[in-house]
Amino acid sequence: MGLSSCWARVGGMISPFIADTAGLIGGTTGTAIPLVIFGGSCLVAAGMTLLLPETLNQHLPESIEDGKNFGKESNKKIQEEIIVKTEETLTQ
């Protein structure tokens, strides 16, 4: 969460400089450059969310050790057990 907040502040600091690139370059290309940079960064961020692990019906980590092991093969058995229990609950 702190890393996210840090990058948000960095983005806030550099955004005026990116917006000023339109004046430095000039013309229609200069007008498009800030839009491409801002839009591209949004698309990259959206694409990176696809790399996050799925957490639906999974036991979430409660300690640092759980966090290190989260999403690894050793947790597959636990995840399968939770899915089976959830399916049993839904069918009742």
Residue 74 has pLDDT above 60, yes or no: no
Are 6 and 46 in the same domain?
yes
87 versus 77: which is more confidently predicted? 87
Domain total in the chain:
2
Q: Give the pLDDT confidence score for residue 71 in this predicted structure.
A: 67
Q: 70 is in which domain, residue-wise?
A: 54-92
Q: What is the pTM of this model?
A: 0.52
Are 62 and 38 in the same domain?
no
Q: In terms of Cα–Cα distance, which of 67, 43, 14 is closest to 6? A: 14
Are 62 and 27 in the same domain?
no
Are 36 and 58 in the same domain?
no
**Do the Cβ atoms of 22 and 33 come closer than 8 Å?**
yes
10 versus 67: which is more confidently predicted? 10
Report pLDDT digits (tens) over 25-55: 877 888 888 889 899 999 998 998 888 877 7
Which DSSP helix (H) or strand (E) runs through 50? none
Are 74 and 92 in the same domain?
yes
Are 47 and 59 in the same domain?
no
Report pLDDT digits (tens) over 10-19: 989 998 898 8
